[in-house]
Homo-oligomer: A and B are copies of this chain.
Amino acid sequence: MSVLGDLKRVAGRPTARHRGAARRRTYLPAADRRAQILDVARDVFSQRGYHAANIADICSAARIGRGTLYQYFDNKRAVLLSLMEDVKARMRRVLDERPQVEEIPGAREAPPLLIAAFCRARVRALLDAVFADEQTVRLVLREARGLDGGVDRVLAAIDRMVLKAMEADLRAAQRMGVLRPLDARLVARFMLGGVEKMVLQAIADEEPIDLDALARTAVEVELFGLLVDEVRTKEARR
């Protein structure tokens, strides 16, 4: 059996030397090929979904043999992981570059509308960073949960990173007496989850995504709440 197998193997390998009309090979420097594969994989994943897509899909879309992909990535997970690391890096950059809460122009004398504008801008910055690569976002938000190995962990790391930043901002604003002293950790989660769901549901319902309306509504609720002013002041609060 093994002998037979070996014989067939040695004999039969590259028989199809001069096949008619087979695709011609193309050669790329390693770095370029790697980048190309990532590009294509992004498309394939976001179209068919990570689970449904397999290595062969990516390779045929990239017009390369399956063996080629394995030269650059260990397996499908590694490809996804690489995509997600990019997202993470982009998020980190946005978070690192964000203006500190303490530097808000009028500090604690600022009128509410100015504060709202500041918050809107911040939410927009994050959303823009995320949507710079919309396909990966869809992927990440929709189905990259509950996967084996590192994928889950990178996802969780991104979440924690963003939450930590939001929490810090909230606490800073609380110290400045601008925001009420609610549990910053819970509130951060609430806010992030809210925005996430707005995006997600729009994607699910295949609506166009109006990032502006989204940021506006979120900030409006977060800062001012839903109650109309008359009802709100009907009786002393706190």
Residues on A facing B (Cβ under 8 Å): 49-52, 108-113, 115, 142-148, 156, 159, 163, 170, 177-180, 182-183, 186-187, 189-198, 200-201, 204, 213-214, 217-218, 220-232, 234-235, 237
Chain B residue numbers with a CB within 8 Å of A232 are 112, 224
Q: A112-B234, A221-B225, A229-B237 are in contact. Are A146 and B50 (CB under 8 A)?
A: yes
Verify B187–A197 contact, CB threshold 8 A. Answer: no
Please indicate the chain B residues that have their CB under 8 angstroms from the CB of A144 in the complex: 146
Q: Report the Cα distance A201→B196, complex, angstroms.
A: 13
CB<8 Å pairs between A and B, sample of 9: A110-B231, A112-B231, A178-B227, A178-B228, A179-B226, A186-B198, A190-B197, A193-B197, A222-B226
Q: Which of A194, A224, A227 has the most CB of B within 10 A?
A: A194
Q: Which residues does chain B contribute within 8 Å of A230, judged by CB atoms?
A: 177
A231 in contact with B115 (CB, 8 Å) = yes
- Give the one of A49, A52, A189 with max B CB within 10 A: A189
For the complex, give the distance between the alpha carbons of A169 and B142 in Å: 27
A221 in contact with B111 (CB, 8 Å): no
- Contact among B187, B220, B234 with A111 in the assembled complex (CB-CB below 8 Å): B234
The reply to whether B214 and A112 form a contact with Cβ atoms under 8 Å apart is: no
What residues on B are CB-neighbors of A223 within 8 Å?
A: 225-227
Q: A178-B231, A187-B217 are in contact. List 4 more A-B contacts (CB 8 A).
A: A52-B148, A111-B234, A112-B227, A113-B235
